[in-house]
Amino acid sequence: MIGLKEFSIFEVSSLLGVLGIAVLGLLYALYLKRQILAIALPEGKMREVWSGIKEGAEAYLASQWRIIRVMIGVLVVVLFLSVWIVQPTAEAVEVFGNNARTIIAIGRALAFLAGAIFSAMVGRLGMRMAIDASIRVATLASKGKAPEALKTAYRAGTVTGMLTDGLGLLGGTLIFILFGKAAPDALLGFGFGGTLLALLMRVGGGIYTKAADVGADLVGKVEAGIPEDDPRNPAVVADLVGDNVGDCAGMAADIFESYEVTIVSSLILGLALASITGSVKWIVFPLIVRGIGVLSSIVGTAFVKGKAGENPLHAINRGFYTSAAMSTILFAVLAHFYMNEWRAFFSVVIGVILAIIIDHLTGYFTDYTHAPVKKIAEQTKSGAATTILSGLSVGMESSVWSILVIALTIVGAIVIYSGFPAVYVLYGVSLTGIGMLTLTGNNVAMDSFGPISDNAGGIGEMSKIDPKGQAILARLDAAGNTTKAITKGVAIGSAVIAAVSLFGSFITDVEKVRPGILSGGIRVSEPLVFVGLLIGGALPDVVQLPLNRSSVKSGLSHNC
């Protein structure tokens, strides 16, 4: 292990243990996959519909990959040559000596390739698992086995979650072990690779998803006047394909990007603190925290077992809170006995609390059992105009609350390290991002649960299974719509936190090379300035809220 001479036996053992936990997460994903695939496939119409969805999703990803792999090949060369522009750091020269430039060039290019491939694997393998699970969920529902259908859908999503956890943690930890103090030079490539794939898969898949969804609704509900997922509408298959390539493959790659970017930024800032304080605990702590998160997610997801007549969200939240409680307790133990200070613990826990608040906040605005959705449903009685205005108003209001919660979280992270140099504050913000994505396994499982349930519902309706089975799938689909929205909230929130910490790590690296070059002016790398940008961005939504609500009321009274 190069450049790790300063590490104690406990710290080296912990790093190797984190690697083992990453592998354990991948093995758990393999175990769940085999468990789900052991459920026999049905014959007849159900299998025919499922085959069409699978073929369409694979065709989309194959077409996308033909373009992406060319870009990856070009950028691998660019990243290799970038070392002659972005020079190796002093730490890299110290570790590798005269061979620093060549080793860093190879490491940066290979790390980029690893980040891109890992991100693609999370999306592609997760999507395939979702497709394979959807028909099995529909089959279980058609037999009246609601708890088994819920468990199968959620555990199929857990496969994607464990891939995200395992590959993200494996890549970041392995790069750090191999490069030691020179890790930031290679981690740049790892983060860039994941970000590139997330951008292409999330945006491309998202556009396809909405285009197919709106197209199917226009031709079916508006023109033909037939129900959603009616077998007479050929666009339904494209809609179900879109759920997989956008909400499963795209979102998984998106969260993987936030997951690895927060690791990258915390390691870079941790290395900066290690050079200031002479202690490597700042580097090891985020990696151990992530390892604890993977273990907690494995335990928590195993607790998701539905009961007859129970709201599916209750079972899913039970697993989420189990993971949150377990990880928080272990964080406290780690902070007390290893860090010997509680600021790092509070920074991480603030992130966990943010994830929980986003969960509740998004659930309130999207769950059919709460007032906002009921109000939108009421507006549908008076026409499309009031429905659109009501939905827009609720969406704007939910965005404002989410932005305020994220802004307060960043302020909380600043307060924890107030009075310390700026690099401590930025490190605290990065730990908040680490904490928010601690339960990535649970979050991605919740996200994939949505398209799996949606696809199962579409397969069931197009196959005309019995009404009892369709009712089970309808309940799962309704819960899945909420879990998808929750995961989008977590993804956006974590992306904001990651952006702040990435700005900070960039400034920290630049200042090491050219001290004072970025002094003066307004910098978005300063967390408080970023908070101001967030609140300023929310103002248009705040201003339009009263207008939208009054428009809904006047429109409703006019139509009535």
pLDDT in tens, 82-138: 888 877 877 788 888 889 999 999 999 999 999 999 999 998 898 999 999 999 999
Kindly indicate the confidence band of residue 35, based on its pLDDT and cuts at 50, 70 and 90. Answer: very high
Kindly indicate the confidence band of residue 4, based on its pLDDT and cuts at 50, 70 and 90. Answer: low
CB 396 within 8 A of CB 548: yes
CB 490 within 8 A of CB 355: yes
Q: At residue 135, what is the residue type? A: I
Exposure string of 517-542, with b = 16+ CB inside 10 Å and e = fewer, is eeeeeeeebbbeebbeebeeebeebe
Kindly indicate the confidence band of residue 159, based on its pLDDT and cuts at 50, 70 and 90. Answer: very high
CB 134 within 8 A of CB 452: yes
User: How much is the pLDDT for 30?
Assistant: 96
The rounded distance, in Å, linking the Cα atoms of 200 and 65 is 10
Kindly indicate the confidence band of residue 559, based on its pLDDT and cuts at 50, 70 and 90. Answer: very low
User: How much is the pLDDT for 496?
Assistant: 85
CB atoms within 10 A of CB 87: 15
CA proximity to 286, closest of 118, 429, 494, 497: 429
- The region of weakest confidence among 1-15, 405-419, 426-440 is 1-15
Q: Is the pLDDT of residue 349 over 70?
A: yes
The rounded distance, in Å, linking the Cα atoms of 32 and 165 is 15
Q: At residue 234, what is the residue type? A: P
Q: Is the pLDDT of residue 54 over 70?
A: yes
Cα angle: 324, vertex 328, 332; to 5 degrees = 175
- The region of weakest confidence among 160-164, 312-316, 468-472, 556-560 is 556-560
Tokens coding 279: 């202690």
User: How much is the pLDDT for 67?
Assistant: 86
CA proximity to 162, closest of 326, 297, 316, 328: 297
Share of the chain above pLDDT 70, in %: 93
> Which residues, in sequence order, are CB contacts of 311 under 8 Å at separation 6+?
369, 475, 479
Q: At residue 316, what is the residue type? A: I
CA proximity to 96, closest of 193, 166, 3: 3
CA proximity to 295, closest of 48, 106, 28: 28
Kindly indicate the confidence band of residue 449, based on its pLDDT and cuts at 50, 70 and 90. Answer: very high
The rounded distance, in Å, linking the Cα atoms of 146 and 446 is 17
DSSP state of 86: S
Kindly indicate the confidence band of residue 151, based on its pLDDT and cuts at 50, 70 and 90. Answer: very high
Question: What's the chain's Rg over C-alpha atoms?
Answer: 24
Rounded to an integer, the average pLDDT of 338-346 is 93
Residues counted in the chain: 560
Sign of CA dihedral 369, 372, 374, 376: negative
User: How much is the pLDDT for 482?
Assistant: 87
CA proximity to 537, closest of 433, 430, 399, 411: 399
Residue with token string 């609140």: 535
H or E element, residue 479 = helix 467-513
